Amino acid sequence: MPPRRLLGLLCTASLLALAPVRGTAPDAGAATTGRYRNLFKEYLGKTDAEIAARLDAAVRPLFAGDPDAERLYYEVPGAMAYVPDVNNHDVRSEGLSYGMMIAVQLDRRAEFDRIWKFARHYLHHDSGPFRGYFAWHAAFDGRRLSNGPAPDGEAWFATALFFAAHRWGSRDGIFDYAAEAQAIIRAMLHKHEEPGRGPVGDMFDRAAKQIVFVPTPPGNGFSDPSYHLPAFTELWARWAADAADRAFLAEVTRTSRELFRRAAHPRTGLMPDYANFDGTPRATPWGGHEHFQYDAWRTLSNPALDWSWWAADKWQVEQSNRVLRFLAAHGDNVPDLFRLDGTPLTTDSFNAPGLLAMAATAALAADRAVGEPWVRKLWDLPMPTGRYRYYNGLLTMLALLEVSGNFRVYAPSAVPAR
């Protein structure tokens, strides 16, 4: 995207945002006030032109960079495109849904539609026990490598589709974005009503009111804190078609905010990859996920984004300060994996871009003195290249949008009360 176009978007966003926000966050949150903080401007004094150029320097390699070292967007026949996990040589619902969210936030409808068409054509189950869900990963040619879904993919798909409907308007078929978002949410909440589904259940535990790790045993008996997205489910509690679903999603949102409190270590603020519904770490036979690992990097962002949009739980400010202070204590060499008590699990992998990016998003809730150094690290962070650019690169791009005030709610009108 040319810097001029990005600058235009930023200027338009500034007009919509009215006055800059002082302090930690607006009282009602940006989703209601329309005032999204731009920490590059607020903390670093960067100009609109500098910020536009910085975002362009990240967007260009992502969508049109060196295909062997930089790019994470590949067009294929049939007006489709995929977002690859380069290291694992597959395509994941996680990455496709992130790609769609990035595209809608950047007003790139053509790329959004191509990624969505790939996901809908190859990963979506039109029949069978998983009907309405998406296979969590496939080969580059679309061949499914596993039928089972990962609920975070559905969550990001649904929210990106809602934003597309409200920003661009829906069309027909799979490009009726609003209808597709509603169908995903309905499948996530009502799979238990379908005959012939076998062991496949909902993506939310009805009693715990929490998103599950996967909707089949044993993974439906626990959760993943990084899948908890109260910033999103707060919107679903307003936009879901069914009144009973809206009421349930309001409870899900409240429970997610409580889960963060229970899952975060009281001293370090670190959360585990997997957690029981009571927030305690969940050990699994495949090992290690009771610790702060790669999924859990996103637990730095999710509470802070929720605070930025909704300002509903002041504890999220304390949490963001706590976890950023813990990471800052490691100086210039931050390990990427920890036990929850802060014991590093690695000695040879420091300053992972994805973790640094997620730390920068936590600055949206943290006090300035705590958050500003991480905002500067993000500003200076080059887009990841090479073998591990998938997860690190997508998290970096999402962080740049969030920290620059360009990760926004697109609503049909003013966000309705609930």
DSSP letters along 323-350, please?
A: HHHHHHTTTT--BS-B-TTS-BS-SS-B
Give the mean pLDDT of 57-85: 98
Q: At residue 23, does pLDDT exceed 80?
A: no
Poorest-confidence range of 86-90, 365-369, 410-414?
410-414
Q: Exposed, middle or buried: residue 318 (CB in 10 Å: 0-12, 13-18, 19+)? A: middle
* CA distance readout (Å), 14 to 34, 41, 264: 10, 11, 35
Give the mean pLDDT of 319-333: 96
**Residue 414 confidence (pLDDT):** 52
pLDDT band of 28, cuts 50, 70, 90: confident
356-377 residue pLDDT tens: 999 999 999 999 999 999 999 9
**Residue 3 confidence (pLDDT):** 39
pLDDT band of 25, cuts 50, 70, 90: very low
Q: Which CATH architecture group holds 1-69+226-418?
A: Alpha/alpha barrel (1.50)
Q: Where in the chain is the domain with CATH 1.50.10.10?
A: 1-69+226-418, 72-202
Q: How far apart are CA 269 and CA 279, in angstroms?
A: 13
Instruction: Count other C-beta atoms under 10 Å from residue 142's C-beta.
Output: 17
pLDDT band of 413, cuts 50, 70, 90: confident
Q: At residue 216, does pLDDT exceed 70?
A: yes
**Residue 418 confidence (pLDDT):** 57
The CATH class given to the 72-202 domain equals mainly alpha
**Residue 350 confidence (pLDDT):** 76
Poorest-confidence range of 7-21, 74-88, 343-357?
7-21
70 is catalytic: no
Q: At residue 319, does pLDDT exceed 60?
A: yes
Catalytic residue among 111, 295, 306, 313: 295
Q: How far apart are CA 203 and CA 234, in angstroms?
A: 17
pTM assigned to the model: 0.93
Plot region of 267 (φ>0 → left; ψ -120 to 50 → alpha; else → beta): alpha
Give the mean pLDDT of 128-154: 98
Catalytic residue among 94, 180, 245, 290: 94
Alpha helices (H) along 175-271: 177-190, 230-239, 243-263
pLDDT band of 6, cuts 50, 70, 90: very low
**Residue 416 confidence (pLDDT):** 54
Q: How far apart are CA 44 and CA 17, in angstroms?
A: 19
For 167, the token pair is: 């920003």
Q: At residue 12, does pLDDT exceed 90?
A: no
94 is catalytic: yes
Average pLDDT across the chain, whole number:
93
Q: At residue 13, does pLDDT exceed 70?
A: no
| Per-residue burial over 294-317, b = 16 or more CB atoms within 10 Å of its CB, e = otherwise | bbbbbbbbbbbbbbbbbbbbebbb
276-314 residue pLDDT tens: 999 999 999 888 999 999 999 999 999 999 999 999 999
Q: How far apart are CA 183 and CA 238, in angstroms?
A: 15
